[in-house]
A and B are shown apart, each in its own frame.
Chain A
C-alpha cells in the first residue's frame, strides 16, 4: 500500500536533509523551505518558498499529501520577527492540514521548553509544565509554538497531531548544544556540572518516522543514551574546558551577545547549570522508539563533516 506523500517544512536545514534521506526510499517526499538545499535525491521535490506565502498553498493542497512534518521552526531568537513568524507559520500549517484533510502532522518541538530549573525533577514527563519562558523570555516563541499545537491536539480528530520533544539534538546540525560542544575551548559555569541528556540527530529522525505511523498521536519526549555529567561529555569529546564564575559569565555573555559576538544568550547558561532532562518512557512504549546510537557516537557526531 502506498502510504502517501510526506511534506516536510524547513527541509533546507540539516535535520530536514537527514530526514528526507531516511524517508524518500519508502514514500514520496516533498519539501518546503527557505534555505537552498543542494544535492537532493532526484525523486525529492523541493520548493524554495516561505510557507506563509500563498505560493506554498498549492503544495499543501495536493491530494496525495498524507502527512506534514513541521521542522520549520526558527530556534534562533535573534532572527527578526522569528517569534511572530513561528506562530503564524504553525497556524498556517495547521490550517492547511484542516482545510485539505491531511491526516497526520508531526511537530518537532524541544525538551528545552520545560526549562532548566533547580527544582526540576531529574526526568520530566510529558505532563510537566513548559516553564522555559519564565526565566528566559527568548524561549517564549518555542514554548508558545508547542502550546499552540497542544491546543489543537485533541480538538481535531481528523488530523493526528504528534508533538515530539527531543532532548539536546547533537550531530552535524547547527543548533545551540552542538555548536557549544564544537567550541575548541568550552566554557562551563564554575562549580556546576549538571547531568546532560543528548540525542543523536538520526535517532530524532527515527522518532519522526515512527511518529508518522497511523494511529499515533499525542506528545512524546525523545531522549538518547543514558545521561552523563557535562564534564564527562567534554572528556569523551577531548575538549578542554574552563570554569567561569556565574556572575562573570553572565555579564560577559550579555555584553558579547549585544555586540553580536556570540550566538549564546546569557539566559542559556542555565542549561549548563541545572538539569532539564526528560523521561522517554512514553515514546518507547507507544512509538517503539529505542535510540540506536550510544553515548560515544552521539557525542562524537558533532565533529562529523566539521569542515564541510
Chain B
C-alpha cells in the first residue's frame, strides 16, 4: 500500500479540525452581525417590510417600480445612519395623516441626506410604516444605475402628473420647496429658509391634500460651507461649488455626526382655486414657510446641544 503523501495528510487534518473551527468563527461573526442588525433596525423590521409588500401587492405592484427587496436593503444601511450615526429623534409623528399628505420640509446640508433620513424615519418609526416619495430631477433618469436605484426605492420623476397619481394612491410626498437653493446655502445662513417654489401649493389645493410642515434640525450643520464660489462654478459649468474644508481632513468626507431632530407640525388645509393668481398662491406659500420657520426656531431653542 502506498504511503499517503504529506499533502493528503494536511488536507485530512484541515478537513477534520480546521474547517469546523473556521465554521465556528464564521458562525459567531454571523450571529454578531445579525445581533447588530437587529439592534439597528429593530425586531419588527421584517414585519414592517411584509406590511409594505402587502400594501403594494394589493395594488398589483407599485406602478412606479418600488421594489420591496431593494428598499429593504437600502433601509437597512440607512437605518445605521438613522439610529446610530445621527440618532434621529422624531417629534409629532402623530401629525401625519393616515391617507395622502404633502410633507413640506426645509432642505439643507450640501448633499440631500436630510431627505433620506426623513424617508427612513417614516419607514422605521411610523406605525404602520410608510414610504416617503420624493421627486427626482429629470436628468437623474438618464444616469445608468442611479435611475434604476431611485425607482426601486420609490422615488419618481418630478412631473405634476406623477405627483397627482401618487396622491391618488394615498402616498406621502416629500417636498423640499427650497430646492438646490436650500441644499447649498452657506453655513452663515443655516436655519434661514430660502425662497419657496409654489408648485406644491397648487398641487395641494387642486387635490385637497393636507400639508404637514416638517422642520429638520441637524442637517444644516453636517457640512460647514464657508460660501459658494459662484464665479468658479460658472467657469467649470458646475451648478454650485461650495467651500467645505472639512472634506480635506481624513474621514471628513462623512457628514458631521450631528443629532438629527425631525419636528412634524399639525397638518394645514388649504382651499380655494389652484389656478389662482401667483399673488394669492404665494400668500399661502408664505404661510407654510412661516410655519416651518416657527417650527425650526422652536426646535432650535429647545435643543440641548448640537451632538446630544
Spot the interface stretch: A56-64, A91-99, A114-122.
Answer: A114-122
By the criterion CB–CB under 8 Å, are A226 and B141 in contact? no
B67 touches A229 (CB 8 A): yes
A20 at the interface (CB under 8 A from B): no
A121-B147 Cα distance, complex, nearest whole Å: 14
Chain B CB within 8 A of A139 CB: no
- Answer whether residue A100 sits at the interface, using C-beta atoms and an 8 A cutoff: no
Of chain A, the residue at the smallest CB distance from B65 is A195
B239 at the interface (CB under 8 A from A): no
- Among A37-45, A82-90, A168-176, A184-192, the one that faces the other chain is A184-192
Q: Given A118-B141, A119-B159, A192–B147 Cβ distance below 8 Å?
A: yes
A271 contacts chain B at the CB level, 8 A cutoff: no
Binds A, one of B56-64, B170-178, B194-202, B252-260: B56-64
Number of A-B contacts (CB under 8 A): 64
Interface residues of A in 192-242 (CB under 8 A from B): 192-195, 225-229
Q: Does B161 contact A119, Cβ atoms closer than 8 Å?
A: no
Complex CA–CA separation, A226 to B165 (angstroms): 14
- The answer to whether the Cβ of A123 comes within 8 Å of any Cβ in the partner chain is yes
* A118 adjacent to B138 (CB under 8 Å): yes
- What 1/0 mask marks residues of chain B from 158 to 170 whose CB sits below 8 Å from any chain A CB? 0111100100000
Q: Which of B59, B64, B144 contacts A122 (CB 8 A)?
A: B64
The answer to whether A229 touches B141 (Cβ under 8 A) is no
Contacting residues, chain B, for A123 (C-beta < 8 A): 63, 161, 165
Cβ of B65 to closest chain A Cβ, rounded Å: 5
Q: What CA separation (Å) do A173 and B146 show in the bound complex?
A: 34
Q: Interface residues of A: mostly helix, strand, loop or mixed? A: loop
B148 touches A118 (CB 8 A): no
**B228: shortest Cβ distance to chain A, in Å?**
28
Whether the pair B60, A225 counts as a contact (CB closer than 8 A) is: yes
- Provide the residues of chain A in CB contact with B65, threshold 8 Å: 193-195, 229
B148: chain A residues at CB < 8 Å are: 191-193
Interface residue from A121, A195, A225, A273 paired with B161 (Cβ < 8 Å): A121
- For B157, the chain A residues whose CB sits under 8 A away are 118-122
**Residues from chain B with Cβ under 8 Å of A120 in the complex:** 157, 159
Residue of B nearest to A246 (CB): B144
Smallest CB–CB gap between A131 and chain B, Å? 14
B residues contacting the other copy or chain, number (CB 8 A)? 26
Q: Cα distance A245–B61 when bound, in Å? A: 28
A46 on interface, CB distance cutoff 8 Å: no
Q: Is B291 part of the binding interface, using a Cβ–Cβ cutoff of 8 Å? A: no
CB atoms of B142 and A118 under 8 A apart: yes
**Assembled-state Cα–Cα distance A227/B61 (Å):** 8
- Shortest Cβ distance from B60 into A: residue: A226
Residues of B contacting A119 in the complex (Cβ-Cβ under 8 angstroms): 138, 141, 157, 159
Assess the A226–B61 pair: CB atoms within 8 A: yes
Give the shortest distance, in Å, between A125 (CB) and chain B (any CB).
8
**Which residue of chain A has its CB nearest to the CB of B146?**
A191
- Contact: B144 with A191, CB < 8 Å? yes
Bound-state Cα–Cα, A191 to B138, Å: 16
Residue A274 CB within 8 A of the other chain:
yes
* CB-defined contacts of B64 to chain A, threshold 8 Å: 122, 195
Residues on B with C-beta less than 8 A from A227 are: 61, 63
Closest chain A CB from B142 CB (angstroms): 5
Chain A residues within an 8 Å CB radius of B160: 121
Docked-complex contact A191 and B145, CB < 8 angstroms:
yes
Contacts of B59 in A (CB 8 A): 226
Q: Is the CB of A189 within 8 A of B161?
A: no
Instruction: Tell me the complex Cα distance, A189–B161, Å.
Output: 27
- Bound-state CA distance A189–B152 (Å) is 17
| Chain B positions within 8 Å of A118 at CB level | 138-139, 141-142, 147, 157
Determine whether the beta carbon of A195 is less than 8 Å from that of B139. Answer: no
B:132-152 near A, CB below 8 Å: 138-139, 141-148, 151-152
Q: Which of B138, B147, B156 has the most CB of A within 10 A?
A: B147
Which residues on the A side are within 8 Å of B165 (C-beta)?
121-123
Minimum Cβ distance to chain B for residue A242 (Å)? 15
The distance in angstroms between the C-alpha atoms of A192 and B141, with both chains bound, is 9
Q: Contact between A192 and B144 (Cβ–Cβ < 8 Å)? A: yes
- List the B side residues contacting A225 at CB < 8 Å: 60
Residues of A within 8 A of B147 (CB): 118, 191-192
Chain A: which residue is nearest B161 at the CB level?
Answer: A121
Across the interface, which residues of A come within 8 angstroms of B138, CB to CB?
Answer: 118-119
Q: Which 10 A-B pairs have the closest CB atoms?
A: A191-B144, A121-B161, A226-B60, A118-B141, A191-B145, A119-B138, A193-B148, A121-B159, A195-B65, A118-B142
Give the B-binding residues of A (Cβ under 8 A): 118-123, 125, 189-195, 225-229, 245-246, 273-274
Residues in B lying within 8 Å of A, measured CB to CB = 59-61, 63-65, 67, 138-139, 141-148, 151-152, 156-157, 159-162, 165
7 A–B contacts, CB within 8 A, in A order: A118-B157, A119-B159, A121-B161, A195-B64, A227-B61, A227-B63, A229-B65
Q: A119-B138, A225-B60, A226-B63 are in contact. List 8 more A-B contacts (CB 8 A).
A: A118-B141, A118-B157, A120-B157, A121-B157, A121-B159, A123-B165, A191-B145, A195-B64
